[in-house]
């Protein structure tokens, strides 16, 4: 059987600690029991025997709890990187040496308990990474040809044995082993572990499916397109792992500081003892000056924030990129495939007097069958959707002549047909009437591509095509401003009319069109010269140079090109642009959380050291406050696991496109009926 969601159960079971399975928990339990027994003996009597047993129990408790601390201290010393454990070990040993057995037991037990709680709490911050591990597909059911003619069998193979082109069969409760395209069947697919979408998606023939997602209802057959380490699941898991392992500048600086801080505190304690001859004071100074909360201030926030982002379908590639994202002031967008869906569609067919829209569309589609240009494919597909007999029309292949960048000429049922630009028609001597000119200007003002159609030397009409705006682009700029972005710009190789039309509809500040990849790089450099931290959002190979040139690069859709994904600092798993303001807002929240933790850690150390100097803080109470500060830092960081975008950034429901003027629409979306509409 292919892997089901039950696979996650062993992971959860391993995460639940018990006295029988967890040595650290047994050690803490025994140490706590000895401390309770020791105090019981002290309260039971004041005799020499009771005092001796009290001392023995406290010493045993200190040795049991301190054993793990001492082992970690020795490792640090061997690596020439003494840490907090060294300070605690020296303080506990000194307390035992001067007869402060309770203090030694309290210091080691509290430090050991704090470390245990810290580890258990941090495990929750790794929940997203653990969820990805649990979602890893293990096996796949593949349909293959059998020995007999026309016969097929289903075989179960390891997930990493699936090859491109294999036909995968996935039933309810099973995980999809590789990215693919549905070839047969209907099903509901849960992609929550990958994209953060809470509701299952309906999938049918032609729809993409992602490795690691679960079929919750129905059955699918899908042809594998990305397998093994190239699958969406593997790429997400790899990026999340890299992000967790990467160090942010703040984290690196704190860790470097801690390497020098520990020897400095040892030297300060020694100097304090040399001047005051007060061993208890020197040992207390060692304990309260432990930089535990300081060292944890950055990693706990980063881990929790990266985990939260992964659950939202947002993948940071490391702490440094995250800190840069928190400072972004200007965002540049590619247009085609980023703000728009990258799939042109016919939005209007206009016919000149004496011609009908149906004739214009049918003749143009019949001629365009010989072309593989995206606009030609859109025209043919639209004609088929309208039920026009495109395939029945005879177009001799030798009659078709494609002129790159202009259009094509063909013979359709004995008629000479031109489909293309104004230059194409003028080259063949077609006179363009003022009425046609007005319609072309009208469509160009809307940023649409126009294919003019001429039949037997007369301009018969035009076909307007548009690349549909992503629904998630509407309201995007408003939400970006709410998270602190000051400037937005489109950088595109498309026409200025198309770029300006999208900019108007989305609300983007500036549109720069007709740009080659190197020109996009130059414009990003200009934004940086204005003092703005910049982000570039793109999805294609031509975006890679601009992505590399920005302070922060963002790729949308992990199914996008490998080049764009590798060049990007941040990846949005889905094509939902609404995740972008969420990513920036979360990055700012993470950085703010780190600063809160650092401030708390420094304030506690300063307050404790001051308390020691005036005699109000002692060894056990100092360790108690120290451990509480560590837990406070952890819990503050853990708040990021439940971070939500502020209410003001709630996503608006997508609004349907508003038809312009009296234009005749024959799109499935517009559906307006008129005298000239093809039905």
d(CA 573, CA 565): 10
d(CA 533, CA 527): 8
Determine phi and psi for 490, rounding to 5 degrees: -100, 130
Contacts of 10 (CB under 8 A, 6+ apart): none
The answer for 396, left when phi > 0, alpha when psi is -120 to 50, beta otherwise, is beta
- Tally Cβ neighbours within 10 Å of residue 610: 12
Residue 564: Cβ-neighbour burial (10 angstroms; 0-12, 13-18, 19+) = buried
3-state helix, strand, coil in the chain (%, to 5): 55, 20, 30
From the centroid of its chain, how far is CA 305? 11
Contact criterion met (CB below 8 Å) for 261 and 80: no
Reply yes or no on whether 334 is catalytic: yes
3-state SS, residue 286: helix
Alpha carbon separation from 670 to 342, 452, 571, 658 (Å, rounded): 19, 21, 33, 9
Q: Of residues 112, 166, 334, 494, which has the active-site annotation?
A: 334
d(CA 637, CA 301): 4
d(CA 650, CA 633): 29
d(CA 213, CA 679): 40
- Tally Cβ neighbours within 10 Å of residue 83: 22
Residue 144: Cβ-neighbour burial (10 angstroms; 0-12, 13-18, 19+) = exposed
Could you list the active site residues? 334
């Amino acid at each position: 059987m292919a892997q089901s969601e039950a696979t996650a159960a062993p992971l959860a079971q391993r995460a639940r600690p018990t006295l029988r399975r967890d040595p650290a928990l047994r050690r803490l339990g025994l140490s706590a029991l000895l401390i309770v027994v020791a105090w019981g003996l002290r309260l039971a009597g004041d005799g020499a025997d009771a005092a001796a047993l009290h001392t023995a129990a406290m010493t045993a408790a200190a040795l049991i709890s301190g054993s793990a601390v001492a082992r970690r201290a020795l490792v640090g010393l061997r690596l020439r990187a003494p840490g907090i454990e060294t300070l605690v070990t020296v303080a506990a040993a000194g307390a035992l040496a001067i007869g402060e057995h309770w203090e030694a037991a309290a210091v080691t037990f509290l430090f050991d308990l704090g470390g245990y709680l810290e580890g258990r709490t941090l495990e929750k911050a790794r929940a997203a990474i653990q969820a990805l591990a649990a979602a890893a597909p293990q096996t796949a059911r593949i349909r293959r040809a059998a020995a007999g003619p026309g016969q097929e069998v289903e075989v179960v193979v390891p997930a990493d044995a699936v090859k491109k082109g294999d036909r995968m069969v996935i039933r309810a409760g099973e995980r999809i082993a590789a990215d693919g395209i549905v070839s047969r069947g209907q099903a509901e697919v849960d992609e929550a572990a990958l994209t953060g979408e809470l509701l299952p998606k309906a999938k049918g023939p032609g729809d993409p499916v992602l490795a690691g997602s679960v079929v919750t209802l129905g059955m699918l057959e899908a042809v594998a397109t990305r397998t093994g380490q190239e699958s969406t699941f593997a790429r997400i898991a790899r990026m999340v792992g890299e992000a967790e392992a990467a160090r942010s500048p703040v984290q690196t600086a704190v860790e470097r500081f801690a390497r020098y801080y520990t020897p400095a505190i040892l030297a300060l304690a020694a100097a304090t003892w040399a001047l005051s001859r007060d061993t208890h004071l020197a040992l207390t100074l060692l304990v309260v000056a432990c930089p535990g909360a300081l060292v944890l201030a950055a990693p706990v926030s980063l881990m929790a924030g990266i985990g939260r982002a992964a659950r939202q379908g947002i993948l940071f590639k490391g702490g440094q990129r995250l800190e840069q994202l928190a400072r972004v002031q200007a965002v540049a967008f590619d247009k085609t495939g980023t703000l728009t869906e990258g799939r042109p569609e016919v939005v209007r067919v206009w016919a000149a007097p004496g011609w009908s829209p149906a004739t214009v569309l049918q003749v143009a589609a019949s001629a365009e069958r010989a072309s593989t240009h995206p606009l030609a494919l859109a025209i043919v597909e639209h004609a088929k959707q309208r039920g026009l007999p495109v395939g029945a029309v005879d177009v001799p292949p030798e009659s078709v002549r494609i002129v790159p960048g202009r259009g094509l000429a063909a013979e359709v049922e004995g008629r000479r047909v031109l489909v293309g630009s104004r230059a194409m028609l003028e080259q063949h001597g077609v006179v363009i009437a003022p009425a046609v000119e007005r319609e072309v200007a009208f469509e160009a003002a809307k940023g649409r591509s126009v294919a003019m159609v001429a039949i037997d030397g007369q301009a018969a009409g035009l076909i307007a095509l548009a690349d549909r705006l992503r629904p998630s682009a509407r309201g995007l700029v408003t939400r970006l401003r709410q998270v602190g972005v000051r400037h937005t710009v489109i950088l595109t190789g498309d026409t200025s009319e198309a770029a300006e039309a999208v900019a108007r509809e989305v609300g983007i500040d500036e549109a720069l069109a007709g740009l080659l990849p190197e020109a996009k790089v130059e414009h990003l450099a200009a934004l940086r010269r204005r003092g703005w931290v910049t982000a570039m959002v793109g999805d294609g190979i031509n975006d890679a140079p601009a992505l590399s040139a920005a302070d922060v690069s963002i790729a949308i859709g992990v199914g996008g090109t490998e080049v764009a994904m590798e060049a990007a600092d941040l990846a949005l798993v889905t094509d939902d642009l609404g995740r972008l303001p969420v990513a920036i807002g979360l990055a700012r929240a993470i950085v703010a959380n780190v600063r809160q933790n650092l401030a708390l850690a420094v304030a506690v150390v300063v307050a404790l050291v001051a308390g020691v100097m005036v005699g109000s803080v002692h060894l056990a109470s100092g360790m108690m406050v120290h451990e509480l500060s560590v837990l406070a830092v952890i819990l503050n960081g853990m708040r990021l696991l439940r971070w939500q975008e502020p209410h003001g950034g709630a996503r608006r429901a997508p609004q349907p496109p508003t038809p312009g003027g009296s234009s005749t629409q024959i799109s499935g979306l517009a559906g307006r009926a008129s005298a000239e509409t093809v039905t």
